[in-house]
């Protein structure tokens, strides 16, 4: 505290006029504020006080539809409970909050997800396309890679089909006579497999004779093949067992592979 503070207070007191009246005014204001605080403390804001006994009496009267109760014990029927529920339904327009009966489960520490770069991510469709085996389309044997074993076998089979077709004066060849191997069941299955490539790539076509037996012949006219591709295609699955293979060899009299 500075040394000149008492002097400044003394000068202020000397300037004050009617100090007694000022002291009385401050005492009066203090008394009024204390009295106001007491009034606020005693003020009651709950004008509508809940009375359990009064509420019970009115509830029983509502359930009994205004009829006086006969005894102290009141038995409420199912219909009256339903009436009470229908009347109070409009005051409960939202469903109650969900609470766990045995507490919430422990989720543990959250696992941080590692976000990859957009250029590294690949869609499921691209992954499936990489895994899928797509047979190679053969428009011409000159454009086909010679180092593939399947292509070489199909080319060999196609040359044989053209040779047999010319030997029969350009007549369709019996399909089973063409694919059956009289001594090897596995070779017969391979012939059926390679022949399907000829059909798929438009190098040969399948016909049916009068007895509904399949015939095969090579396609020589490119324009005819374009018209055939414009028509709706049909596919069929052929299954053959060793027993069926032996019967077919005997029926079609296949003697030479």
Supply the pLDDT for residue 144: 47
Alpha helices in 114-221 (DSSP H): 124-131, 149-167, 175-179, 185-200
Closest alpha carbon to 216 in 169, 190, 177: 177
What domains are defined for the chain?
A: 149-251 (1.10.10.580)
Tokens for 196, please give them. Answer: 């399907």
Supply the pLDDT for residue 147: 43
Tokens for 117, please give them. Answer: 């770069």
Residue numbers of the chain with a pLDDT score lower than 50:
1, 132, 141, 143-147
pLDDT digits (tens, 9 = 90+) for 170-213: 888 888 888 888 888 888 888 888 888 888 887 888 888 888 88
Supply the pLDDT for residue 135: 52
Supply the pLDDT for residue 178: 84
Supply the pLDDT for residue 187: 87
Element (H, E) at 204: strand 204-208
Residue 170 region by backbone torsions, left for phi larger than 0, else alpha for psi between -120 and 50, else beta: left
Supply the pLDDT for residue 89: 83
* Calpha distance 180→203 (Å, rounded): 20
* Calpha distance 194→158 (Å, rounded): 9
Q: Rounded to two decimals, what is the model's pTM?
A: 0.40
Neighbours of 154 (CB within 10 A): 23
Supply the pLDDT for residue 98: 74
Distances from the Cα of 117 to the Cα of 110, 114, 163, angstroms: 22, 10, 58
Q: Could you tell me which residues are beta bridge partners of residue 204?
A: 218
């Amino acid at each position: 505290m500075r040394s000149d503070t008492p002097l400044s207070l003394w000068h202020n007191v000397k300037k004050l006029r009617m100090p007694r009246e000022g002291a009385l005014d401050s005492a009066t204001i203090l008394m009024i504020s204390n009295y106001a605080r007491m009034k606020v403390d005693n003020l009651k804001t709950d004008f509508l006080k809940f009375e359990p006994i009064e509420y019970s009496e009115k509830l029983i009267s509502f359930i009994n539809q205004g009829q006086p109760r006969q005894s102290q014990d009141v038995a409420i029927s199912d219909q009256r409970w339903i009436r009470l529920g229908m009347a109070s339904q409009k005051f409960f327009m939202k469903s109650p909050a969900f609470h766990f009966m045995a507490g919430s489960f422990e989720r543990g520490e959250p696992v941080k997800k590692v976000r990859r770069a957009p250029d590294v991510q690949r869609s499921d469709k691209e992954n499936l396309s990489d895994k899928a085996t797509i047979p190679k389309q053969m428009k011409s044997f000159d454009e086909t890679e010679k180092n593939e074993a399947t292509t070489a076998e199909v080319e060999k089979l196609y040359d044989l089909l053209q040779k047999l077709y010319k030997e029969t004066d350009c007549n369709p060849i019996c399909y089973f006579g063409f694919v059956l191997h009289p001594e090897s069941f596995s070779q017969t299955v391979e012939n059926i497999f390679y022949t399907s490539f000829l059909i798929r790539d438009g190098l040969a076509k399948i016909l049916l004779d009068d007895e509904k037996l399949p015939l095969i012949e090579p396609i020589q006219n490119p324009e005819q093949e374009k018209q055939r591709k414009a028509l709706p295609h049909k596919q069929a699955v052929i299954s053959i067992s060793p027993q069926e293979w032996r019967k077919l060899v005997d029926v079609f009299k296949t003697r030479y592979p």
